[in-house]
């Protein structure tokens, strides 16, 4: 049997650690939506940038059908969506950027999409859930900040899936499949 004094000493050591652990969990729970946004951004930005780099330069004009975007147009679309949504979600102005074309060189298109994810990283860095219910206006749509975050993260998934389809149609392996 463990002496009472030893049990009290152990409890005195363990209890503050348990309280600190719970406090950390509560603090993290307080910003679930914001933390989700930053985690989704970290993962999806790597995948989308890697897929953009993976596509050969001569295939940026590829489109599966006349109704669909070229890979270059898709790349610019990803960047435009990032700038719009991240600016609104993060409460920052969109940067004034020069117009680009899907026929611009691959390195410029890759740089545009990278820069858009860097912008998102800065825009979402100080985001917290205290404003998740605030109404944002995105074009003609009014939505909560939380819904805008969910929409953006879902859009990243759709964009990456589309990139993967384009890569596979051109005999390339999507970067995540190489792991």
Mean pLDDT, rounded, for 142-168: 95
Tell me the β-bridge partners of 143.
136
What is the structure's pLDDT at 11?
43
The two tokens of residue 66 are 């006349």
Contact 48, 117 (CB under 8 A): yes
What would the CATH number be for the domain defined by 32-178?
1.20.120.450
Q: pLDDT per residue over 103-113, tens digit each? A: 999 999 999 99
Q: Where are the domains of the chain?
A: 1-30, 32-178
Q: pLDDT per residue over 68-124, tens digit each? A: 999 999 999 999 999 999 999 999 999 999 999 999 999 999 999 999 999 999 999
Residue 95 phi, psi dihedral angles, 5° rounding: -70, 150
Tell me the β-bridge partners of 137.
142
What is the structure's pLDDT at 176?
83
């Amino acid at each position: 049997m463990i002496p009472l004094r030893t049990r009290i000493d152990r409890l005195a050591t363990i209890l503050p650690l348990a309280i600190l652990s719970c406090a950390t969990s509560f603090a993290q729970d307080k910003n679930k939506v914001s933390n989700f946004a930053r985690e989704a951004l970290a993962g999806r930005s790597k995948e989308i940038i890697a897929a953009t780099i993976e596509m050969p330069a001569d295939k940026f004009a590829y489109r599966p059908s006349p109704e669909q975007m070229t890979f270059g147009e898709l790349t610019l679309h990803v960047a435009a969506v990032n700038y719009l949504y991240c600016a609104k979600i993060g409460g920052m102005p969109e940067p004034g950027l020069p117009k680009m074309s899907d026929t611009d060189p691959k390195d410029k298109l890759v740089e545009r999409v990278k820069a858009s994810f860097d912008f998102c990283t800065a825009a979402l860095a100080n985001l917290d859930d205290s404003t998740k219910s605030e109404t944002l206006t995105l074009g003609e749509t009014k939505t909560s900040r939380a819904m805008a975050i969910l929409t953006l993260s879902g859009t990243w998934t759709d964009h990456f899936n589309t990139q993967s389809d384009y890569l596979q149609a051109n005999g390339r392996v999507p970067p995540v499949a190489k792991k």
